[in-house]
Amino acid sequence: MKYIVVTGGVMSGLGKGITSASIGRILKNRGYAVTAIKIDPYINIDAGTMSPFQHGEVFVLKDGGEVDLDLGNYERFLDTELTRDHNITTGKVYQAVIEKERRGDYLGKTVQIIPHITNEIKERVRSVSRKSGADICLIEVGGTVGDIESMPFLEAVRQMHAEEAPENMLLVHVTLVPLDTQGEQKTKPTQHSVKELRQLGLQPDVIVARCREPVLPDTKAKIALFCDVPANAVVSAHDAPDIYLVPSLMESEGLADYMMKMLGLETRGNGTEWNRMIEKMGLIKKTVRVAAVGKYTHLSDSYISISESLKHAGIERGCRVEVSWLDSEEFEKKPSSISRLSEFNGVLVPGGFGARGTEGKILAIRYAREHNIPYLGLCLGMQLAVIEFARNVLHLADANSSELARTSHPVIDILPEQKSVTNLGGTMRLGDYEAVLRENSLAHRIYGTTKIVERHRHRYEVNPDYIERIEAAGMKFTASNGNRMEIAEIPSHRFFFGSQFHPEFRSRPGKPSPPFLAFVRSMLGQ
């Protein structure tokens, strides 16, 4: 097994995740099977309880793991499916070690950071990489060098570096090369970051220098001299027009050739599929505009998988999808402003939890339905579409979800078999579930099959007591999992499609999610 460890310095948010994913894509293009692990130093067990304001989107894996959004980038760039074990957190590690101590596994020894915590980290990394069957395992260490919470993980990396053969481990360090007021590229932050890393016993093999502009040869030479790496191991990671162009940028910098040489690998592929997708991006001329109505709209990372899924569908259909993130609470404050949705080719309402902003989303859904504007509702976006339909077509004025308010018409509710479960986590549907599609429905035409598997993250369901009345009025539930409704659509509408699942989590560059592809087609008038 070959390991590539990616660390970061100077500041967070430099793009370690995209760097790691791009490195993985480069190696996959060269013909190698690549897997990825994200290390998050926070004490939370996983990202499931975190607000999107803290860490952006919570990405859901096939086994129901709720993880950092970087694992979404790994899945998209590598066209793979990961599991919860591919996300290692401080909380998981310490919980496992404490449980072992309570069982007496350590035979009365004093349990310490070294060797017990570091051994647990190494064991998890090696176990996950081995089970994946990959040739190469990428390991991104979250946070920055010098963070106290990252130190056990970096110590584990140091130990692995000593235990593995030199050609089996590569250390990549991502740093910032800022510009001063005169526009000069400054190397001192990189020098100090590498110095900090070396004090921990780690010497980087590659330095990826993040800069707004291409890093100049003189700047690279200076970094190489002061950081003790070859000049061709200093890679310029300047701003790119699109994240999917970053692998090509790094390839042109010679990173792939350098890594292949260091790891003793030979090229056995050419990345035809990825290159074809990049070519399609270059041919795009048309644009469609989408109004995405949510409540975390000021932080774009909160809905990154949706943005990427729209992009994937746009590339496939030869158009650029321009997304405007609209705050649903603004519509609640000024309902007349809902008319601005007429400026868009489509309306999308994403998932979410809690009552805040839901009435504004319902206003947007009603406008899209009544004005025949293509509509795509995801998870809560489907549930609110059912609520809107019940209120304004069935005239059940107080129809709502029992999650959001007290109501005499809970068209969205906890199913009877769930109500006896007192642990809320026990009633959550997470990860892959199968759905059976009704033949000759829009859903059937979109997917081209009668059975699908998609990822879920929700607790409440369409109330079976109202299904017959809703369907008689014109909204059809065309996919189900037992008594759980998975898709709602309005056949008489130009395009009105809501899914209880999250199709955005399985969309890939070159392999767009079917509902997103159909949504973009409808906005193009096709």
Q: What is the set of active-site residues? A: 379, 502, 504
Buried b (16+ CB within 10 A) or exposed e, 313-331: bbbbbebebebebbbbbbb
d(CA 466, CA 411): 6
Q: How far is CA 127 from CA 1, 415, 468, in A?
A: 11, 38, 50
Report whether 437 contacts 444 (CB < 8 A). yes
Q: How far is CA 478 from CA 141, 446, 470, in A?
A: 43, 12, 12
Report whether 313 contacts 517 (CB < 8 A). yes
Which two three-digit tokens encode residue 342?
């007429």
* Strands in 302-409 per DSSP E: 319-327, 346-349, 375-378, 400-401
d(CA 88, CA 65): 11
Q: How far is CA 85 from CA 59, 126, 200, 469, 483, in A?
A: 14, 11, 26, 44, 31
d(CA 405, CA 407): 6
Name every residue whose Cβ is closer than 8 Å to that of residue 50 and which is 6 or more positions away in sequence: 44, 58
d(CA 514, CA 499): 12
d(CA 392, CA 426): 34
Taking alpha carbons only, the member of 303, 321, 323 closest to residue 312 is: 321
What residue has token string 């975390």? 296
Report whether 322 contacts 284 (CB < 8 A). no
**Side-chain half-sphere of 278: how many Cα atoms within 13 Å?**
17
Transcribe 112-134 into DSSP letters.
Answer: -IIIIIHHHHHHHHHHHHHHHT-
- The CA-based angle 269-270-271, given to 5 degrees, is 105
What residue has token string 């010098």? 146
Report whether 148 contacts 48 (CB < 8 A). no
Radius of gyration of the chain (CA): 25
